[in-house]
Structure 1
Amino acid sequence: MNPDLLRARLLLIEDHGPTAETLQAILQAIGFSRISHAGNTDLAFQMLEQQPFDIVLCDFNLGATNGITLVRNIRKPGGIGNPNVPLVMITAHAETDRVAEAQAAGVDDFLVKPIDPETLTRCLATLFDRSRSFVKTKTYAGPDRRRRHAADNPERRQADRQTASSVPQNKWIVPPKS
């Protein structure tokens, strides 16, 4: 695992205590040492406003406010925290509509519980090594949800009827202070 990735500040948003403990143990075993935990979206909003995070792992079901609402509040321009932070949605339910909703909200990846260490390691390493291009529109800032490159179809942006400006590749790890 890349040492820069292991220095990342990671926010885990999970309301089920035993699952949160298991995920924290897996992350620590992988080598992460800067892990914060929020058990609900209210606490997550506060934490995101108070300090920057390099990675967010968020459960889909978080009680009254679900993880999709949190992701949308992060991804919208002027929202909470860093709109370019890598977001991984975790859930016990992998229905196609749930995955599509998470992708439309702006998650970078989607993992189904139970999550094993190898899958989580591969997911986080991929986010670090091959992050997706980011776009910014009036209502959305985050990973480009289109799987094809704009050069593949130059007419696509015109068809979307919404201009987007490209943001440089997601360089989200903040170097440690000397």
Structure 2
Amino acid sequence: MFRSARHAGAAMNTVPEDFADRRVVVVDDNRNFQQVMRVMLRSFGFRRIDVIAEADHFLGHLEHHHVDFAFVDLVMTGTGGSRQAGLSLIRAVRRSPVVVNRAMPMVLVTGHASRGVIVASVEAGADHVLAKPVSPHTVLGCLKALKGSERSYGRGADGYFGPDIAEARQRLERRLRLSEGRRPEAPHATSLPAPAAGSGRPYPVPGFNVPVRDESSHFLD
């Protein structure tokens, strides 16, 4: 992690993206990481930055505010937190009918980016994964992918609305095969249907662009 929030801001020298009117939420109970993310996001042009330290406050916040991006830590130890709190929160958001922006991209942030965590994040409905320690380059690259890539979300019978899980599994499997020197299998039909007619345009959703290695590796952009 960065030595200080000041170091984080100084490390980013770029023209701000068009993020001034976008709301971003950082869900993490580590004060140093909260401050690093605040400084970093401000340097990208964000002016509406919410920081939530308690896992059980996140869903309520989304029920009252239109949030454009969310960075969710995997491990939180406060009220409502656990070693898998981030995955539980993402699962809950993807199935909540009262979240204001159900097409909100969610990024799982973790210092434990094993293959198992990556697979679990796909199943939970995360759009992207970032491994700690983060850098301005990887965070900004992630945001650009979230903002610029077009891919329709899928719906599930249990109320799920989010990235097409079957499609995400296929992309992850292709990366696994490529990282292991195996030939990727041909794509096949996904199991989740596309959004129902009249649900609007395709939403900006990135792919999982983290290299997959082994259980002990970090998965970085």
Could you tell which deviates more after superposition, 78-87 or 124-133?
Answer: 78-87
1:121-140 matches, within 5 Å, as 121-139=140-158, 140=160
- In the alignment, structure 1 segments of 5+ residues that lack a partner are 173-178
Q: C-alpha separation between the residues in 2 aligned to 1:74 and 1:84? A: 10
TM-score between the two structures when normalised by the length of structure 2: 0.67
* 1:171 positional shift: 5.4
> Residue type of the partner of 2:118?
V
Is 2:112 the partner of 1:83? no
Structure ranking higher on relative contact order (CA contacts 8 Å, 6+ apart): 1
Distance 1:32 1:128 in 2: 13
Spell out structure 1 runs of 4+ moving beyond 3 A: none
C-alpha RMSD of matched pairs (Å): 2.2
Structure 2: unaligned runs, 5 residues or longer: 1-15, 172-186, 206-221
**Which of 165, 172, 176 is 2:194 aligned to?**
165
- Residue 162 (structure 2) pairs with residue 142 (structure 1): yes
Shift of 1:129: 0.6
Aligned-pair distance for 1:19?
0.9
Inter-partner Cα distance in structure 1 for 2:102 and 2:124? 12
The yes-or-no answer on 1:17 pairing with 2:50 is no
1:103 to 99, 108, 122: 122
- 2:51 aligned partner: 37
Quick one: distance in 2 between partners of 1:132 and 1:115? 25
- 1:131/1:90 CA distance change after superposition, 3 Å: farther
User: Percent identity over the alignment?
Assistant: 24
What is the CA distance between 1:82 and its match in structure 2?
2.7
Q: In structure 2, what is the equivalent of residue 60 of structure 1?
A: 74
Kindly provide the amino acid, as one letter, of the partner of residue 164 in structure 2. D
Q: How many residues align?
A: 163
Q: Shift of residue 52 of structure 1?
A: 1.3
Greater share of residues in helix = 1
Match of 1:26, as an amino acid?
M
